[in-house]
Amino acid sequence: MRVLITGANGQLGGALQRLAPEWAEISAIDVDDCDLTDSGMLTARLVVEAPDIIINAAAYTAVDKAEADEERARAINAGAVATMVAAMADTGGKVVHVSTDFVFDGTSSAAYDPSATRNPLSAYGRTKAEGEDQLRSEDLLVRTAWVYEAGGANFVRTMIRLMKERDELGVVADQIGSPTWASGLARTIWGLAENKATGTFHHSDAGVASWYDFAVAIAEEAQALGLLTRIPVLRPLTTADYPTPAKRPAFSLLDCRATRAALGEDAVHWRTNLRLMLKEEAKLG
């Protein structure tokens, strides 16, 4: 089966290619190969690739920048999805689209079910929600959160760099969710695709954390693996202490029980996957 992966050079795109099952004949594109904001160019590329499945791992993910660049964010996060869906409607193919916890407003007192009401707080969240709205009933939507991967541009690697440079570091402690190892997300996406799943599913690692909790765990696990020689003072901050252009949900934990049941798998705690990622990071040098 021919599978086209967009966002080929991103964290998830790389993991999807590396972990692709034998049944998938992979082609992959990134911004250097095709401008997703150009509907004509994208349509022409899809005609050439002729995929049975598109896994759309491409996105405009600069959350704060999107506040002043919403038109471009919308073109990538929603317009390109509409183009992909139209192309697949013509050929009988399927779109597997990856979205985000930022479509929720963070006011829930329980983990967000896949059917929960969306109310995005930011341009990024709005444009991702609009992308979700382009999908058909036969397509597959997978929402995720706080993604990281060895070698990528992410919170884990940024924290390790800052911890090497500073004696003290403040980290937001009142935004709650769960980290997601991109390799685990890729395995879930492939599993759902193989099962011909449709509709909306959630995937993040098990457990609950604030960004501060995540940073503390990063420091401890990185030091244990020799990636850090010392742990700086880590100071919890409030969101008000660290204002950003984009408003973020205070609580964006995703309910992933239906996903785990569909795949017949147990959830893996985020700290376990963090340790696995950091072992990979150590091998990269």
Question: Looking at 124, 148, 212, 242, which residue is catalytic?
Answer: 124
124 is catalytic: yes
- Helix residue ranges per DSSP H, the chain: 11-18, 39-49, 70-74, 80-91, 123-132, 155-165, 182-194, 211-224, 257-263, 270-284
Tokens coding 264 = 């017949």
Tokens coding 222 = 């990185």
How many Cα neighbours within 13 Å face the side chain of 138?
Answer: 10
- Cβ neighbourhood burial of 198 (10 Å; 0-12, 13-18, 19+): middle
Give the list of residues 6+ apart from residue 190 with CB closer than 8 angstroms, or none. 16, 19, 20, 21, 24
* Rg of the chain over all Cα atoms, to the nearest angstrom: 19
Residues serving a catalytic function are 124
